[in-house]
Amino acid sequence: MFAARRALTGVAQARAFSASARDLSKVTILGAAGGIGQPLSLLCKLNPRVTELALYDIRLAPGVAADVSHINTKSKVTGYDPTPSGLAAALKGAEIVLIPAGVPRKPGMTRDDLFNTNASIVRDLAKAVAESAPDANILVISNPVNSTVPIVAEILKAKGVYNPKRLFGVTTLDVVRASRFVSEIKNTDPRDENITVVGGHSGVTIVPLFSQSSHPDLVGDATLLNRVQFGGDEVVKAKDGAGSATLSMAMAGARFAESLLKAAQGEKGVVEPTFVDSPLYKDQGIDFFASKVELGPNGVEKIHDVGKLTAEEQKLLDACLEDLKKNIDKGVAFVASNPGK
Ligand SMILES: NC(=O)c1ccc[n+]([C@@H]2O[C@H](COP(=O)([O-])OP(=O)(O)OC[C@H]3O[C@@H](n4cnc5c(N)ncnc54)[C@H](O)[C@@H]3O)[C@@H](O)[C@H]2O)c1
Ligand SMILES: O=C(O)C[C@H](O)C(=O)O
């Protein structure tokens, strides 16, 4: 077997690698029956890189799995019961764990208002991931992301399995929105608009860097800035009490998972913005920050710095860092005083 593998060269080797990597592409969704979870399950079922899809929720996951499993793509879909053993089985062998479990906002709420409910949900799910899938890439969608990601990190540290290269806060939706909103102004194809968004995922912590796009004239466009920073509120208001962004978020989450799978399967140059354990502002006591991140087989390959900013963007970044620090500290303090069972 080893001799045969050694005999493989070039393209054959790459194919063998990608085939074996593909064999391992189990994706688990925790919160799979929710507003995000259901369309995310659908999109993952449609992704040929996913070979196994495990759906877990405190309600309805087997039903969602039965539905999605009829789609005629090759992956195997299983829905798990809301029991500790169901959760453990859903997680075992996962390469990617997506976490959209938790409550969404209603009009008038900030993401931070979700903290009291979602912090303990995410903490407890993180424990299960640490125990049953310690090597998985963990993609946190549940809000407030600026705090839930540090919560997961603290739990993984306590369990002795923290790998900062495999923990991601999903901020893709901010970039998706920014490119769409810019394309509406400039009458372009959003796929051609590559807008860097850094910081975190709430209000002023969301910092778009238009000076680095092909439209530097958009720096200072207050309406556009407000839409990017508060795009989530736009949806919350329009849904009028029925929740927050689900469909666009499912698309964004599926895109991020796809990027990780591509990178795991050997594709080079896969770059996504994401909220990770980052060296960029650690000297200011800020351990997590979203910037462009190159992904690879081990998760985070390279963290890009924010690049050159205009004076106006620097001001936005300063405001971001102030809030971000508080949000991160809140997550860390929560685990310290509420370690759970
Ligand atoms: N990161 C982002 O960009 C982004 C975008 C949109 C929404 N969100 C956040 O995603 C979260 C989910 O939003 P939604 O609209 O899908 O909400 P939802 O209420 O429709 O769905 C949440 C699901 O989580 C499940 N759940 C609750 N506790 C659980 C637990 N302990 N284990 C497993 N499942 C559990 C619920 O049963 C439900 O099915 C919210 O916190 C929301 O703010 C984040
Ligand atoms: O706005 C929300 O509460 C959900 C999400 O974070 C979003 O950006 O749409």
Q: Tell me the pLDDT tens digit for each residue of 157-196.
A: 999 999 999 999 999 999 999 999 999 999 999 999 999 9
Ligand 1 atom at minimal distance to the Cα of residue 30: 33
CA dist 112 and 96 (Å) reads 26
Query: Which residues are known catalytic residues?
Result: 201
Domains of the chain: 26-170 (3.40.50.720), 171-328 (3.90.110.10)
Residue of 241, 35, 236, 52 whose CA lies nearest to 141:
35
* Segments of the chain with pLDDT less than 70: 1-24
What pLDDT score does 341 carry?
A: 84
Looking at the chain, the whole-number percentage of residues with pLDDT higher than 90 is 92
Binding residues for NAD(+): 31-37, 57, 118, 141-143, 249
Q: Are 34 and 58 within 8 A, CB to CB?
A: no
The residue whose CA has the least distance to atom 8 of ligand 2 is 232
What pLDDT score does 1 carry?
A: 32
What pLDDT score does 244 carry?
A: 98
Q: How far apart are the CA of 249 and the centre of ligand 2, in A?
A: 8
pLDDT per residue as tens digits for the range 280-321: 999 999 999 999 999 999 999 999 999 999 999 999 999 999
Q: Is the ipTM of this complex over 0.90?
A: yes
Q: At what angle do helices 231-239 and 172-186 cross, to 10 degrees?
A: 90
Cβ neighbourhood burial of 239 (10 Å; 0-12, 13-18, 19+): middle
Phi, psi of 128 (to 5 degrees): -65, -40
The ligand whose atoms approach the alpha carbon of 111 most closely is 2
What pLDDT score does 255 carry?
A: 98
Q: pTM for this one?
A: 0.94
The ligand whose atoms approach the alpha carbon of 235 most closely is 2
